[in-house]
Amino acid sequence: MERSGFTPLLSLVLSQKGCETAEEARTTLERGANLLHEPEEMKDMDRATARIRRAIAAGELICVYGDYDVDGITATCLLVKRLKSLGARALPYVPNRMNEGYSLNDEALEELRRQSVRLIVTVDCGITNLEETEHARAMGMDVVVTDHHECKERVPRCAAVVNPHQPDCPYPFKHLAGVGVALKLALALTPEAERERFLRESVDLAAVGTVADVMKLSGENRAIVAMGLEQLRRARRPGLRMLLQESNLGDRVLTSTTISYTLAPRLNAAGRMGCPELAVRLLMTDSESEAQVCAQRLCQLNKERQAVEQDIFQQCTALLEQHPSMREHAIVLAGENWHQGVIGIVASRLVERYQLPVFMICLENGRGKGSCRSCGGFNLFEALVACSDLLETFGGHELAAGFTIQAEHLNAFRRRVVDLAARHPADEGGRVLHIDAALPDLSLLTLRNVEDLRLLEPFGAGNPRPTFLLEQVLVESCSSVGGGRHTRLQLSRNGVSIDAIFFSMSLLEMGLRPGMVLDVAFFPQINEFRGERTVQLLVTDLRRSMSPAQRDLRLYRRYVSGEALERWELELLLPERRNFVALWRYLAQSAATEALVEAPTVLSRNVAQFSGVQQSCAATMICLEVFRERGLIDLSVGPRTLTIRIHTGTDKVDLNESAVLRRLRARLG
């Protein structure tokens, strides 16, 4: 890969992704508009555009009805702006989470009828609203549903249903966000000659909604987010420009992480705190002054949301720590005074802490509104389908969903959810950190190598940031930052130092001190401070380092279990002839009359001291396996020790005929 011009660090990651040629690497890195499919490929797109064009021609009032999260709000604003530019009379409507709940509701429909709305186009909602769409039709309003959530057995009977998840929809990419589907509808309404310009002007909103809804960043989504970030960096939209400015990000490099941790929480705060129209105003306005006022208010709302969220989170963790039985297989919690706008975030934080599916329910007047988040591949939508007889309504997808339930059904719901989670395959759960590559030292972490990792962006669901491993690094210094919530480290390896930051992990919690030797998992990034650019490690996890012998033994156990290993790891396992000779001579002396009982690490060290031949503990274990297979020894492997008995009087054997060695050499190629 490096021969094709890719830098070493990027080449390592591309190889881990299965790229064997430069052409495969270029395909993996592709993120241009050529990844986009024609909107007309989506089922019912022709019917949807035909009905909307009729409404525009007849001067009918069109309502774009969205969800109150970032995906729904960006979709609403994108489509309303497109319709107005086409000459339509169009207005946005986003329900209030507190008193209306999710998606279409009869009270909203009555209000829209009073405003003389003749056509409702849903975005990021509507696919489960069978009764509400019938009600709208009875009142003389047509409905076009555009959504991206999972479909139930029946879909609404209306003018058109545009959703790539419909079983008979031929659209090839199934992972669009709600704003992605709205973008496709807007493009389908746009004359062919104008589509490129419209895409360029609107893709910033589509990118924000796609990242905020944690959609898979492959295929079309990769292109949408990459192009959207380019437009976002130009910040031509007053609302987003002011929100970046109020978040102190006006001159920072913008990435998908910027959306996830800065823009999305502030936009979401509007819907969570009961005033979604504030986010709509921010994204719709062309006025700098109005955008600034909205951005400032959103930042304030986000601070209020954080305080409420932290309070509920602490209540939940205290309860779960006092009652461990409440966190077996799945967590189902209900509270009377919880703010329903933040329980989804609390659910996500509880998933992160306990690595279990979490269902959070706000109770009011005997009725509960729930929000749930997944873990370990547990499909939430399928779980809610299995509990549908206990629920009033539900919707969502496999990773995040919502539902309503009567309080009297809570205990039965909890039992059924826990039972479903208990039957979920155990090997898909748990928290596993995947390492893309182990680095031998700090030499690869140059500015150029780290900068080139940006070619892999945008990072997110389905395309996580690559994680690297450095073993045996020394903690030179460590200190708390961010009010004690984060930890700053200075690490060194072979006399070369580098800075690192570990977010959301306190120094007290980790018990770190200078002089410790650690294995550190991290993503490298460029830190800019006072005009100086340096490489900094963004720590993902860390642990106390094992001794070389302990690491070797772990490597052997990974090999025996069938785990895929790197070539350099396999080479460490393969013994040389001198290793066999040294081990056999030691055994001939130490186990000649009675069984030898030693720990693997002690045995490896003793052989080296006896013979002067250095060898890894892993290679020693392979030698023993070969001796046993060829009938030279009896070997019993216990939890901590080996028991070895030599067979005396054995004829000379050819170790190269060993099946153990043949298998290892075959894996090395």
For residue range 161-219, list pLDDT tens digits in order: 999 999 999 999 999 999 999 999 999 999 999 999 999 999 999 999 999 998 999 99
Are the C-beta atoms of 490 and 499 separated by less than 8 Å? yes
DSSP letter string over 126-182? -TT-HHHHHHHHHTT-EEEEE--SPP-SS---SSEEE-TTSTT---S-----HHHHH
592 pLDDT exceeds 90? no
426 pLDDT exceeds 70? no
SS (H, E, C) 644-662: EEECCCCCCCCHHHCHHHH
Tell me which long-range contacts 502-507 makes (C-beta under 8 A, separation of at least 24): 502/539, 502/542, 503/538, 503/539, 505/539, 506/480, 507/478, 507/479, 507/480
Check residue 525 and give its pLDDT.
93
**In which region does residue 218 sit, left (phi positive, over 0), alpha (psi from -120 to 50) or beta (all else)?**
beta
**Which tens digits make up the pLDDT trace of 441-487?**
899 999 999 999 999 999 988 899 999 999 999 999 999 998 888 99
Are the C-beta atoms of 25 and 6 separated by less than 8 Å? yes
Give the tokens for residue 42: 């989506």
Check residue 259 and give its pLDDT.
92
Domains of the chain: 35-219 (3.90.1640.30), 323-428 (3.10.310.30), 437-545 (2.40.50.460), 549-668 (1.10.10)
**Which tens digits make up the pLDDT trace of 605-648?**
899 888 888 878 888 999 999 999 999 999 998 888 899 998 87
Check residue 430 and give its pLDDT.
47
Residues in contact with 229: Cβ distance below 8 Å, sequence separation at least 6, in sequence order: 207, 254, 255, 256, 457, 458
Q: What is the mean pLDDT of the chain?
A: 91
pTM for this model (two decimals): 0.78
Are the C-beta atoms of 187 and 234 separated by less than 8 Å? no
| Cβ neighbourhood burial of 289 (10 Å; 0-12, 13-18, 19+) | exposed
Confidence of residue 357 (pLDDT cuts 50, 70, 90): very high
Helices (H) and strands (E) in the chain, counts: 25, 19
SS3 (DSSP) at 335: strand
Encoded amino acid at 80, one letter: V
SS (H, E, C) 543-594: EECCCHHHHHHHHHHHHHCCCCCCHHHHHHHCCCHHHHHHHHHHHHHHCCCC
The single residue listed with the structure tokens 């003749």 is 118
